[in-house]
Structure 1
């Protein structure tokens, strides 16, 4: 009689999240989150807005004080001054366009690249950053599905550090913009690392694992604010932020490949070796018979992005999920980056404001796991999106004189926005089969990055009405909350390996649960 195949999920159920092997995995991936937060958001601090004025040949302090503080002249225009700094008849003088400026911080990004009256160049850095992230995820996802999660995220981490250090030494604005694009195009390690981590833990530990690893995004953002405050010169700040990337060289020896990926690629012996090593570290026993009965498949080595998309989207259910995932990612990425970017424009110290917003994100991550364990997946996701929408619509209507109330609503809204973003990360990874999981996760998140491409431009809209960014975040979040009702809940299902299993998600009695063979679980 032929032996019944055992699913990898049944093997991995014997491992506890805080066992030595998986605790090491959490620490290694938490560092990836920490560094990735620095790499993805440093442009907010580096490309800061600073005050500047038209430069006059006359340097008399009293004259400059009148020009700056006692006239309503646009800072891109100047009075034509030809005599000895007389300012009693300024209104009778002709006005001309500025070609040179005096900066409050001459060694700032704007000052060194002379971006006076070219605010679009300052915000363009963030937009180009998000464009690079969009395209990069489309490349990194398929590469990690083809060549492995480990190799790709290590390579991305190291390359991101090299290019990032290059940004710190360039003397030309357009070279900096190009390097910003390349850095996120090839230097974003978290997507592949996240997928590796999710595939290495059992369903019952997935939420805690995600919460632990993702919480270090908030820690990374908090330390980014502190470092930007402590290291005010932007070139030195970039060197501090990118130099730790070379620690990823250690991961070549310290990190294992995703066992689930090895099995889906037919590399069963390698997968068995990793399981045996993990079992030895954790001092648990798994029989060789069970290991060799593990299900293993062999997929085509030449399957490309378009082929994987075709395989997945032939299913109407998965096509609908893909569209909904793109919408969720677009709204969430727009909200996250719009709120981070505009947090430095709130009343008060911009570094403390940014740190407070990061704290709100960390609180969301720490509470998110509990909510999803008790309220499944869809309910907390809809709640997070819906509350984000309501709070920011209200916040946009708060009068300017109530700045404290506006700030409190901003931080509360950021908490719910971060909750939704956390849920989307996990939700996307559970909706698709193993052999296209990282490709579809990357596809949804990359196309959704259209939102983060638009987010850096929102500060320019505040000159028309200061509430526009918050109103946009609120409206999009409410629309998305309603749309989420079209996709199933995934909390009761193990990760699917095939399209058929993915289509069965959300049904109480599906083929996955009835076909699984359960082995000893009393030790879990």
Structure 2
């Protein structure tokens, strides 16, 4: 008899185990999820290439001939391209067209510019000498994503993982394509914020991915999908390289997600969510459908014993009461606060690293792709580590070791640039490793009926890190090693807080607050038969 059985009832994991770990149903679902994972990674940071930084200089009719190139007449015979002024916001002395003769900036203010790439985002919207507008795109995306996570979490927990994912994915495709037709900078900013707020399908898709398989197989399933996410990041810079015009680049990366509209017919809902909402009949129908698809048998006696009797799972209990019940628990609140610090740290570090990648000397497309390539061994290491060493220990080690790597980088001898780059790439791998664990760990700490909401709130509040990340390069004016030093210190602080968290690896996914509170106190192998009703 299954260990999860008590007083004639079975836990959902028992049925999921019976349905098989990797059958036809899981493979088809993974294929649909893979598209969302791969494209979502591009949408989160596509502005790095769509809104790329380009050179510009002041246009002076008396100096510029009809056939003048971008840099002429600024280049002397002894100057190379890299030595020439790439950006100029004021006019040189018209007498010799040399910027070195500028004596009064106010008297030589520039009103018209020549751009290195006339069809670039910066040129089309006339953003010369307005660098803040360029960085605003990433900030608005991060802020919209922060608000969107709160919305998506509520929709997912109330209406289902499938509904939230299909609506968000379809909206993201439409809004993303709309950006490519924008003729106003502020319209583009508004569409960027809307897309991030209502067009991010990853959160509900992630919940669906960990709930369609039994707990012990969730890490392997997630590792496969995370590599799809990484592949999107690796491929994106080469798409930008092959399709340099920013409007066409956006159309190429957003068009595939129009397929998500068809998921309404092919994607199945989470069995766990259906049972947590008291939708037993729909859940049983779905179980039988999956059993037929995978070629396995599930007897009626097992399905009859799979039931929820707690007050929390009754359909007449509001989602607001369930969320408030979660927050009223001291244990849940402690976990929530730690998770927020985790999320701030991983978003600050990961977005900071990606932004830094395009500023490394060399081909920015290749550099970005190579840095993202480090995520693949991080994903595999994530699967191996969590399979053997549970959750807390790998996260603790990655936070501490990654933090030490980052703190030590500014103090390396100047003549060992290769060593600094090696530490940078090692830290990127550990940062991704930490990100993956936090994503999984957070989802295992809270009950099913508020799991996506709590996960989304933690992620949304933590997104403050992604808002701060674009500004970290400014700290280099005080000390070149200050950004990486801050990354390292926040990583170590998060590692210390990890000591306060319970181990979740051997516990079943909790469905109620009472079950969630038991994690870390004793093995959660048996379901509780009742829970205090909501007052």
The structure 1 residue matched to 2:464, chosen from 450, 454, 471, is 450
The structure 2 residue matched to 1:90, chosen from 87, 90, 101, is 101
Is the alpha carbon distance of 1:516 and 1:299 closer, same or farther for their aligned partners in structure 2, counting shifts above 3 Å? closer
Kept after mapping to 1: 8 A contact 2:515/2:528: no
Partner Cα distance (2:100, 2:322) in 1: 72
The structure 2 residue matched to 1:64, chosen from 74, 81, 88, is 74
The structure 1 residue matched to 2:480, chosen from 461, 466, 480, is 466
- Superposed, 1:295-374 pairs within 5 Å as 295-296=307-308, 298-300=313-315, 303-305=318-320, 307-374=321-388
Aligned to 1:480: 494
Tell me, yes or no, if structure 1 residue 140 matches structure 2 residue 152.
yes
| CA deviation after TM superposition for structure 1 residue 482, in Å | 0.9
> How big is each residue's C-alpha offset from its partner over 1:347-406, in whole Å with a ceiling of 9 and x where there is no partner?
111111111121111221122111011111001111111122111222233466544332
TM-score (norm 1): 0.92
Deviates more, 1:10-19 or 1:94-103: 94-103
Kept after mapping to 2: 8 A contact 1:265/1:296: no
Partner Cα distance (1:71, 1:232) in 2: 24
The structure 2 residue matched to 1:235, chosen from 242, 247, 266, is 247
Partner Cα distance (1:461, 1:50) in 2: 22
Aligned to 2:54: 50
Kept after mapping to 2: 8 A contact 1:124/1:456: no
> How big is each residue's C-alpha offset from its partner over 1:182-232, in whole Å with a ceiling of 9 and x where there is no partner?
001110001001101111111110110111111111001011111011111
Kept after mapping to 1: 8 A contact 2:53/2:122: yes
| CA deviation after TM superposition for structure 1 residue 21, in Å | 1.5
Tell me, yes or no, if structure 1 residue 416 matches structure 2 residue 420.
no
Aligned to 2:211: 199
Is the alpha carbon distance of 1:80 and 1:303 closer, same or farther for their aligned partners in structure 2, counting shifts above 3 Å? farther
Give secondary structure in 2 for the equivalent of 1:50: coil
Tell me, yes or no, if structure 1 residue 252 matches structure 2 residue 225.
no
Kept after mapping to 2: 8 A contact 1:55/1:102: yes
> How big is each residue's C-alpha offset from its partner over 1:124-170, in whole Å with a ceiling of 9 and x where there is no partner?
11010000000000011011111111011011001001001111011
Give secondary structure in 2 for the equivalent of 1:171: coil
The structure 1 residue matched to 2:389, chosen from 364, 372, 375, is 375
| CA deviation after TM superposition for structure 1 residue 471, in Å | 2.0
The structure 2 residue matched to 1:8, chosen from 6, 12, 19, is 12
Gaps of 5+ in 1: 518-524
> How big is each residue's C-alpha offset from its partner over 1:317-367, in whole Å with a ceiling of 9 and x where there is no partner?
110000001110111011111111111111111111111121111221122
Deviates more, 1:369-378 or 1:100-109: 100-109
| CA deviation after TM superposition for structure 1 residue 516, in Å | 8.1
Is the alpha carbon distance of 1:349 and 1:515 closer, same or farther for their aligned partners in structure 2, counting shifts above 3 Å? same
Give secondary structure in 2 for the equivalent of 1:102: strand
Is the alpha carbon distance of 1:340 and 1:72 closer, same or farther for their aligned partners in structure 2, counting shifts above 3 Å? closer
| CA deviation after TM superposition for structure 1 residue 476, in Å | 1.0
Kept after mapping to 1: 8 A contact 2:57/2:114: yes
Aligned to 1:38: 42
Give secondary structure in 1 for the equivalent of 2:18: coil
Partner Cα distance (2:285, 2:348) in 1: 43
Deviates more, 1:71-80 or 1:213-222: 71-80
The structure 2 residue matched to 1:262, chosen from 250, 274, 277, is 274
Kept after mapping to 2: 8 A contact 1:35/1:245: yes
Tell me, yes or no, if structure 1 residue 18 matches structure 2 residue 18.
no
Aligned to 1:77: 90
Q: How many residues align?
A: 511
Give secondary structure in 1 for the equivalent of 2:75: helix
Partner Cα distance (2:99, 2:476) in 1: 34
The structure 1 residue matched to 2:442, chosen from 414, 428, 432, is 428
Partner Cα distance (1:295, 1:73) in 2: 68
Partner Cα distance (2:128, 2:222) in 1: 43
Aligned to 2:297: 285
Partner Cα distance (2:124, 2:393) in 1: 49
TM-score (norm 2): 0.90
Give secondary structure in 1 for the equivalent of 2:521: coil
> How big is each residue's C-alpha offset from its partner over 1:448-472, in whole Å with a ceiling of 9 and x where there is no partner?
1110111122233344443333222
Partner Cα distance (1:315, 1:126) in 2: 36
User: Aligned-residue CA RMSD in angstroms?
Assistant: 2.3
Is the alpha carbon distance of 1:465 and 1:78 closer, same or farther for their aligned partners in structure 2, counting shifts above 3 Å? farther
